[in-house]
Structure 1
């Protein structure tokens, strides 16, 4: 199992820890240049590098990550539901008010849902299927 070494805060003042890649829901660009935010159910962690670098690294390490927006890359294996009305990916089978979600770019939505359906046929697509 591959682990990522991540910082627990944006400045790495609190140190870091190792988290398994299979706990990652999605990764996104951070507020600073070459900063990546790693989103899990429990917390957001931080790494350095570019989104493209980490997407390539994770995919070449046997995982399925898909860029769904200029600044977001999903862990396809974690997606349970895609809402076609709001263009959001969810990571739980039951969507609640506080459910984690990752927005999908409107202009890439049709392309993204095709790829998601191929990469993970267990995903449930709800709402409007196309833009």
Structure 2
């Protein structure tokens, strides 16, 4: 199990905690704070600093498959279970609720993520 050192709050008041990389749904760059919001499959949010491109590269070079799906989001390819073609959204759980994690994508990002899913013989559903 590989982990990232992150914080539970944006200002780091909670100290550092370890987050299992397998639990990450997607990374979101927040331009207002300049931080990376790390969204998990179970809809928690953690925080770190750096650029989206940097963290995508680091995670990919560690053996994971992340892809910058639009200018603010990098999606964890192997955790996608459903894709909505009309809305260009990736979902990370089959039985979604209004609080479920979801990642938006650009039109070209959606197309490339779809190809990556097809290449891995994914069980992801397209709606």
Specify the SS of the correspondent of 1:4: strand
Matched residue, 1:32: 33
Gaps of 5+ in 1: 127-131
How many corresponding residue pairs? 125
Matched residue, 1:23: 23
The CA deviation at 1:58 is 0.4
Matched residue, 1:66: 67
Specify the SS of the correspondent of 1:69: coil
Are the equivalent residues in 2 in contact too, given 1:78–1:91 (CA < 8 A)?
yes
RMSD of aligned residue pairs (Cα, Å)? 1.6
Matched residue, 2:8: 8
Deviations 1:62-108 (A, max 9, x none): 01111111110111111000011111100112333332211111343
- Taking the TM superposition and a 5 Å limit, the aligned residue runs for 1:82-101 are 82-101=83-102
The CA deviation at 1:42 is 3.8
Residues 59, 121 of structure 1: alpha-carbon distance in 2 compared, 3 angstrom cutoff = same
Gaps of 5+ in 2: none
Taking structure 1 as the reference length, the TM-score comes to 0.86
